[in-house]
Each structure stands twice: as structure tokens, then as C-alpha cells.
Amino acid sequence: MAPELVLLHGFTHSGASWGRVVTALRQRYRPLAPDIRAPDIRAPDIRGHASAAGRTPVSLDAVIEDVAALTPARFDLAGYSMGGRIALHVALALPERVGRLTLIGASPGLADPAERAHRRAADERLAAEIEASSLEAFAARWAHTPVLAGLPADVAAEVHADRLRSTPAGLARALRGLGTGALPPLWDRLGELAAPVTVIVGERDEKFRALGTEMAALIPDVRLEVVAGTGHAVHLEAPERAAELIAASLALY
């Protein structure tokens, strides 16, 4: 029997953002119940987001504990952007439990201490802006972040609605506790990954294509997949292709 799959969403999103991928996985990964909460696929809300907006503390250790408590003894793991960064930490913290790892638009963090400190300061400024803003205004502004540009109109509308499931206070806590500037970098630990890894990046996402190539050179058992015509959020822009790549890991590893 195939292991369970856990899907970790990106910053400002929720577990519901994986809906189209889950629908595709119902046909491609294994037979599933019609409900997104089917026991063999879990897409939890990360602390600071949606149903978990009020959960504290919002810290890496707490989120790893959440994943550990949610999952069986063995499971597959996939994460997008912030969720991918967290997934890397989970895979290293629970090496005996993570069977396969899929990373979409993800990074191991910032290796340079000065760059990380600069990013932490920028994240703090953004967190303060979020707290002083309405959720609607912030969500509209965040949608125009360059790395997120290019979503089809219907997908962009879904993403905007998904962002409105959270709260300004929760998102600010998530940025401070789980942002790129907050988490320790993992570049020097990529060689420790015990699980086979699939790194997925969008063709138009030049920054993360470069990061994906660098990561792939350091991970022992890895596949790098570039999805044509997509940007940073491959699972939103091409959910069926993302599902195919997640499902393919079962056959290839």
C-alpha cells in the first residue's frame, strides 16, 4: 500500500490551495475518497495561516511537531515555497519517517549571515505592514509580487480567496517565525537527505530554476524537473503536471 502524502502550502496560502493537485492525484496517485480530507492525502494549514491562524507559537519546531503528530510512521511529503523550505527541515528532522520528498519552488534558505540578517529585517518591516493593513488590501498587494506574476485569471481569483482565509496577525507571526530570514539555512545539510527528492521549478521562474540546479548538485538522490510555461507556483499553474510528478516518484524510486 502506498504511503500517505502530506502537502505543505506556501506563505499566505492554506491547505486548500492544493485542491486541484489533490483532485488530479485522486486519478493518478492512488484511489482516493472524494473528500479532500481523505486519509491518504493531508494538506494541513501551517501555523499562522487559515484555520491555524491563531495557533502559537509560530516556530519551526512547533510546525515540525504538528507534522509529526499528523502523520503515520511513514509518509511522503511535498511542499511549495515556504512549505518546501519547511519540508526540507521536516525531512532532516524525521529521516526515518519521510519516504519521498517533493519540493516546488523551494529553497534551503540564505547561507550568507549578512544576507539573512537583511532579509530578517525586511520580513519584520513587512510583518508590521501586514498588521497595520486590512487583509483584503495586503492580499491584493501581495498578488503583484514579481515572483508570483503570471497566474491565469481564474487561478489568481482562487488564490486571492484562499489568502482571505487567514488573518493579518497570523500572517505576521508566520513571517516572523517561518520566513526566509528566520529559518537556519540548510545548504550544508542537503547531502544528509535520506529520502529520494524531486525538485520542481517553473520554466519562467529564473531565480528558483537556478536555486533548483544548485540544490540538485548537492542532494544524493534527486530529480530536477522544469515545468514548461509556468512560473513560481507550478502546482497552481499546472496542477495536473505537478500531480504527475509527485505520483511519478512512487514508480521511479
pLDDT digits (tens, 9 = 90+) for 195-247: 999 999 999 999 999 999 999 999 999 999 999 999 999 999 999 999 999 98
Task: Kindly report the pTM of this predicted structure.
Answer: 0.94
CA 14 – CA 36 distance, rounded (Å): 13
pLDDT of residue 253: 40
32 pLDDT higher than 60: no
CA 58 – CA 56 distance, rounded (Å): 5
User: Among residues 24, 192, 36, which one has the least CA distance to residue 108?
Assistant: 192
> How many structural domains are present in the chain?
1
CA 184 – CA 138 distance, rounded (Å): 27
252 pLDDT higher than 50: no
pLDDT of residue 33: 38
pLDDT tens, position by position, 91-117: 999 999 999 999 999 999 999 999 999
30 pLDDT higher than 80: no
CA 122 – CA 115 distance, rounded (Å): 10
Helix (H) or strand (E) holding 252: helix 239-252
Name beta bridge partners: 5: 41, 76
Helix (H) or strand (E) holding 224: strand 222-227
DSSP-assigned states of every residue in 105-161: S------SHHHHHHHHHHHHHHHHHHHTS-HHHHHHHHTT-GGGTT--HHHHHHHHH
pLDDT tens, position by position, 182-209: 999 999 999 999 999 999 999 999 999 9
| Average per-residue pLDDT for the chain | 92
Cis amide leading into 57 (omega within 30): yes
Structural domain harbouring 110: 4-252
**Over residues 149-168, mean pLDDT:** 92
CATH number, domain containing residue 147: 3.40.50.1820
Q: What is the percent of the chain with per-residue pLDDT over 70, rounded to a whole number?
A: 92
Total Cβ atoms within 10 A of residue 61: 11
pLDDT tens, position by position, 37-92: 455 789 999 999 999 999 999 999 999 999 999 999 999 999 999 999 999 999 99
